[in-house]
Amino acid sequence: MPTYGRLAVTFTKGEGAWLWDQNNTRYLDALSGIAVCNLGHAHPAIHKTICAQSQQLLHTSNLYHIPQQEELATKLCTLSGMDNVFFSNSGAEANEAAIKIARLYGKQKGIANPAIIVMDNSFHGRTMATLSATGNPKVQEGFTPLLEGFIRVPFDDIAAIEAALKQHDTIAAILVEPIQGESGVNIPAPDYLNKIRALADQHDILMMLDEVQTGIARTGAWFAFQHNQIIPDVCTLAKALGNGVPIGACMAKGKASEMLTAGKHGSTYGGSPLVCSVALTVLDIIEKENLCQQASDKGAAINKALTEQLKNNPAVVDVRNKGMMIAIELDQTCTELVALAVEAGLLINVAGDKNIRLLPPLIINNEQIELLVNTLCNLIEHHTQQK
Ligand SMILES: *Cc1c(COP(=O)(O)O)cnc(C)c1O
């Protein structure tokens, strides 16, 4: 079905931050399949794991114990401070689990119709529940009736959350992205998550973070919430956890971890031996290659180089980053830059019409960073002069 307006390019192979098309033309990937391939393409250790695991066992279902799944859950809990994990196959499904946890939590508190506070400009996925939670009219258009039970407030606005908590006595949870990705790399005030944590404690509601895009070293920490020295009650993951194999995870802590008991939720594929063995390898590589630190250092280097090269361009409103989540905000729409960049051998993305979004693989090297910055700055200079 024509659900995507695709660019006129077909990739046939990759290696690290490089991709090649059918004509053997090379492209620098500064998007990583939308924050998925943090370790780049065709990583030899991932290849090895997929081969070895496929020789042993791909799938048995969750009717039986799956040691790889248990090991991955333990590892994720150790890294995050969470207590347990439900495995799904995508980010939207991970968020579905979070929404179900919130509703059970509300019910347990005696709320007949529990509600979840969600944010303007958020993105949580394309299933009916997650598009209802999403704060983008384009995503919701045509799909009413939406799922009920979401109360929307502006992002990065603690007073708005406080007001909603005062106004409604049905709230069971707050669901928020630590940094909004799809709407343009919106980085909130440094203490935003700390204040949400405090409010959630004060009102006995769940703090639920959608780290589908920010999680797994992207922002320079394993999880974005670790920049704030807090732990949420629920945290969802997907994208980079599998580096390209489909996996999602909903981690929970404390009371939230006791909601989904036997029979309350499930997935046929979720947490299979194959995807869990790959995810374990992903975590292992990030640890061994110190990629959290690398994301932090390289993100800062890219921001510095972009800022320097673009400093005299009045059309550039802002260059911002948290680790390797990077945006260049222009004072004009720039969606046409994506296709122009492809012609120049560079893969980028535009989010929220005016923000060039970069999500390079964390293994990108200095030479590639230089090529990325130079190619992109040339494109921006050209584009903004023409207007
Ligand atoms: C990508 C994304 C999702 C949806 O993940 P899918 O795997 O496409 O279902 C949800 N939340 C955030 C923050 C995302 O970036």
Q: Are residues 135 and 278 in the same domain?
A: yes
Which of 257, 288, 319 represents a domain boundary (last residue)? 288
Pick the closest to residue 352 from 103, 111, 181 (CA basis): 181
Domain extent for 103? 46-288
Q: Which of the residues are catalytic? A: 123, 210, 239
Note the pLDDT tens digit of each residue in 155-180: 999 999 999 999 999 999 999 999 99
Retrieve residue 159's tokens.
């007073």
264 assigned to some structural domain: yes
Q: Ligand 1 in contact with 358 (CB < 6 A)?
A: no
Say what the pLDDT of residue 86 is.
98
What gap in Å lies between CA 177 and CA 97, rounded to an integer? Answer: 16
Note the pLDDT tens digit of each residue in 3-55: 999 999 999 999 999 999 999 999 999 999 999 999 999 999 999 999 999 99
Phi, psi of 309 (to 5 degrees): -70, -25
How far is C-alpha 221 from the geometric centre of its chain's CA atoms?
13
Instruction: Decide if 299 contacts 318 (C-beta within 8 A).
Output: no
Nearest-atom number in ligand 1 for the CA of 181 is: 15
112 assigned to some structural domain: yes
Instruction: Decide if 22 contacts 10 (C-beta within 8 A).
Output: yes
Distance of CA 242 from the midpoint of ligand 1 (Å): 13
77 assigned to some structural domain: yes
Q: Are residues 296 and 256 in the same domain?
A: no
Here the CATH number for the domain that contains residue 360 is: 3.90.1150.10
* Ligand 1: residue whose CA is nearest its atom 6: 91
36 assigned to some structural domain: no
Mutate to test the pocket of ligand 1, among 37, 131, 212, 223 (most ligand atoms within 8 A of CB): 212
Q: Are residues 310 and 266 in the same domain?
A: no
In terms of phi and psi (left: phi > 0; alpha: psi -120 to 50; beta: otherwise), the region of 382 is alpha
Pick the closest to residue 259 from 152, 387, 153, 100 (CA basis): 100
Note the pLDDT tens digit of each residue in 201-223: 999 999 999 999 999 999 999 99
Q: Are residues 66 and 85 in the same domain?
A: yes
Here the CATH number for the domain that contains residue 64 is: 3.40.640.10
Mutate to test the pocket of ligand 1, among 213, 216, 225, 247 (most ligand atoms within 8 A of CB): 213
Q: Ligand 1 in contact with 215 (CB < 6 A)?
A: no
Q: Are residues 255 and 114 in the same domain?
A: yes
Nearest-atom number in ligand 1 for the CA of 34 is: 1
Q: Ligand 1 in contact with 213 (CB < 6 A)?
A: yes
* Ligand 1: residue whose CA is nearest its atom 15: 213
Nearest-atom number in ligand 1 for the CA of 238 is: 7
Q: Are residues 307 and 283 in the same domain?
A: no
Helix spans in 137-222 (H): 137-140, 158-167, 192-203
Q: Ligand 1 in contact with 92 (CB < 6 A)?
A: yes
Counting the structural domains of the chain, the total is: 2
Distance of CA 124 from the midpoint of ligand 1 (Å): 6
Instruction: Decide if 265 contacts 100 (C-beta within 8 A).
Output: yes
Sheet holding 11-15, edge to edge: 11-15, 18-21, 26-29, 346-347
Instruction: Find out whether the peptide bond into 145 is cis, omega within 30 degrees of 0.
Output: yes
Q: Ligand 1 in contact with 177 (CB < 6 A)?
A: yes
Whole-prediction pTM value?
Answer: 0.98
Q: Are residues 131 and 221 in the same domain?
A: yes
Residue with the two structure tokens 């997650």: 130
Q: Are residues 242 and 302 in the same domain?
A: no
355-358 and 349-351 beta bridge pairing: antiparallel
Q: Is 325's pLDDT higher than 90?
A: yes
56 assigned to some structural domain: yes
Nearest-atom number in ligand 1 for the CA of 130 is: 10
39 assigned to some structural domain: no
Q: Ligand 1 in contact with 233 (CB < 6 A)?
A: no
What gap in Å lies between CA 36 and CA 283, rounded to an integer? Answer: 13
Q: What is the mean pLDDT of the chain?
A: 97
DSSP helix/strand/coil, 57? coil
Q: Which contiguous run of DSSP H or E holds residue 322?
A: strand 316-322
Note the pLDDT tens digit of each residue in 97-131: 999 999 999 999 999 999 999 999 999 999 999 99
Confidence category of residue 385, pLDDT binned at 50, 70, 90: confident
Which of 233, 258, 288 represents a domain boundary (last residue)? 288
Note the pLDDT tens digit of each residue in 264-317: 999 999 999 999 999 999 999 999 999 999 999 999 999 999 999 999 999 999
Q: Are residues 354 and 326 in the same domain?
A: yes
Mean pLDDT score, 229-243: 98
Q: Secondary structure of 230-292 in the HEC alphabet?
A: CCCCEEEECHHHCECECCEEEEECHHHHHCCCCCCCCCCCCCCHHHHHHHHHHHHHHHHCCHH
Which of 288, 315, 345 represents a domain boundary (last residue)? 288
Q: Ligand 1 in contact with 121 (CB < 6 A)?
A: no
List the beta bridge partners of residue 316.
330
Q: Ligand 1 in contact with 238 (CB < 6 A)?
A: yes
Q: Is 181's pLDDT higher than 70?
A: yes
Say what the pLDDT of residue 386 is.
73
277 assigned to some structural domain: yes
Q: Are residues 264 and 303 in the same domain?
A: no
- CA angle, corner 345, sides to 342 and 350, nearest 5? 40
Q: Are residues 319 and 284 in the same domain?
A: no
Q: Are residues 238 and 264 in the same domain?
A: yes
150 assigned to some structural domain: yes
Q: What are the contacts of 380-386 at 24+ separation with CB within 8 A?
A: 380/310, 380/313, 380/315, 380/316, 380/328, 380/330, 380/334, 380/337, 380/356, 381/313, 382/340, 383/334, 383/336, 383/337, 383/340, 384/313, 384/315, 384/316, 384/330, 384/332
Distance of CA 202 from the midpoint of ligand 1 (Å): 29
